[in-house]
Amino acid sequence: MEFRKINDDLTVSPQIAASDLSEIAAAGYRSIICNRPDGEGADQPGFEEIEAAAKAAGLETRHLPVISGKVQDTDAEAFGRALRELPGPVFAYCRTGTRSATLWSLSQAGQMAPARILMATKQAGYDMAGVVRRIVNGGKTPTDTGDASFDVVVVGGGAAGIAVSASLKARKPDLEIALLDPADVHYYQPGWTMVGGGIFEPETTARTMGSLIPKGVHWIKSAVAAFEPQNNAVILDGCRVVKYQRLIVCPGLKLDWAKVEGLVETLGKNGVTSNYRYDLAPYTWELVKGLKGGKALFTQPPMPIKCAGAPQKAMYLSGDHWYRTGILPRIDIQFMNAGGVLFGVKDYVPALMDYVKRYDASLNFFHNLIAVDGPAKTATFAVNTPDSEPFTIDVAFDMMHVCPPQTAPDFIRVSPLADAAGWVDVDQNTLRHKSYDNVWSLGDVMNAPNAKTAAAARMQAPIVAENVAADIDGLSPHAVYNGYGSCPLTVERGKIVLAEFGYGGALLPSFPKWLLDGTKPTRAAWLLKEQILPPVYWKAMLRGKEWMARPEKVTAG
């Protein structure tokens, strides 16, 4: 007997024996649902035998037999009704547990997000791919899927999605490309650090999505609910189905604010802010200008996160303002980093450490933010120093800049496209999916071991476009990604340490050292960040103009 827990209310299992009922009762279950018809297998006890043993163990029972592979909508409704009527928690079983898990999935479809249903069943060991359309359709069998079909479907209208659509359209003007994204507004997220430092106005980092979709690309303004790569299909909210010949997946990642207890409730007030949100970055600058003394915390969660330098950029720009206004001696700056190093590429650390010393900032490694009490202005950190017993510590603050924990979006993590950690599983060189030859991925959502930055997406977009175009022409992918990423570390107003690196931390500078030495703070890097990169983003990258981003090609020798 197996206990495969779906949630606190339901556990499912393969076939049980009458002798198992006492153990089930002892484990705290109060009801049994049998979803297997009598006589389905020669070694199967009849329901009457199970019912008698259950009654002796003090358990209620319900027999809801379902023929294997033929779960009807009415069966799911009956299962949901039984869950409401029976005392819980409930233990349900069939031959393998799959029918019970399927019935639960369909019964909850109108009440719970599809990704949550798929995650719960996946964790219990059951794959609901066969009924995903019914789950998205509120548990009902779709009567009209309304299929649309395109040569290429791009999931996500962020930097990666628009850039790859434009680059592909430039190579193959006749392709029918659909871009799927429900958002009305597109953001230049690298600019939010500058907003939080009082350098950019927030409005300069936002434009309407419709104004940026490449000409000739179909914009389907809808969220993705699930993938059916075996059917070359994407299932949208509302159970509409979009078919594709080739799929490019780049929806970005999920900022998991709720993972830190109390954070959602206090964001934007009580001195708690974050440059990771458009509406909060101006509050960062408001707090920095208003703080005349006290303790300022800057947090960094476990990797991976988008732009690994962003948490400390906020610290440096804040420290610079306090330094220039003469109040730095009255402010205690604490950098609370869940990791064990200041920056993952050691060549840039000496320059950064000079600024840590300038701003008299304390570095607290292996400190992970787990809770915030906004009104009390107290943050709780889990401290997991190597070779020491873990403990928690409460730290008072007057201002706190938070970088939230980050994961792949829920609909990605539960999909067949994801690896065990939940990220899209690609070959790190070609960015082609490891299991599905007609699927590619780029940007923050895929699992190549590179930095998750807009600069990385700028390099990846032409590579994916080149390889998809080659595949259409019947050729093997020949453009390779070297892991390039860039992190302009704003160490003070007017100077930046321009970190540029690839796989394994290899330095990949874009400019000769005499012009711009990225390992040192330079005015030239600041001008690049402040004046050159925004127009390059809006007018080149998102329009398929591959300035300094031409893909490197490898041909067979």
Long-range contact pairs involving 231-239 (C-beta distance under 8 Å, separation at least 24) = 232/438, 234/153, 234/155, 234/180, 235/132, 235/133, 235/136, 236/136, 236/180, 237/136, 237/182, 238/136, 238/137, 239/133, 239/136, 239/137, 239/138, 239/142, 239/145
The secondary structure of the chain in percent helix, strand, coil, rounded to multiples of 5, reads 35, 25, 40
Catalytic residues: 307, 487
CA pair distance 60, 11, nearest whole angstrom: 15
**C-alpha triplet 272, 277, 283: angle, nearest 5°:** 45
CA pair distance 131, 106, nearest whole angstrom: 8
The DSSP secondary-structure symbol of 111 reads T
CA-nearest of 336, 334, 449 to 384 is 336
Q: What is the CA radius of gyration of the chain?
A: 27
Positive or negative CA dihedral for 353, 357, 359, 363? positive
The DSSP string of 182-204 is --SEEE-GGGHHHHHTTSS-GGG
In order of 158, 206, 209, 404, the CA distances from 185 in angstroms are: 10, 7, 5, 22
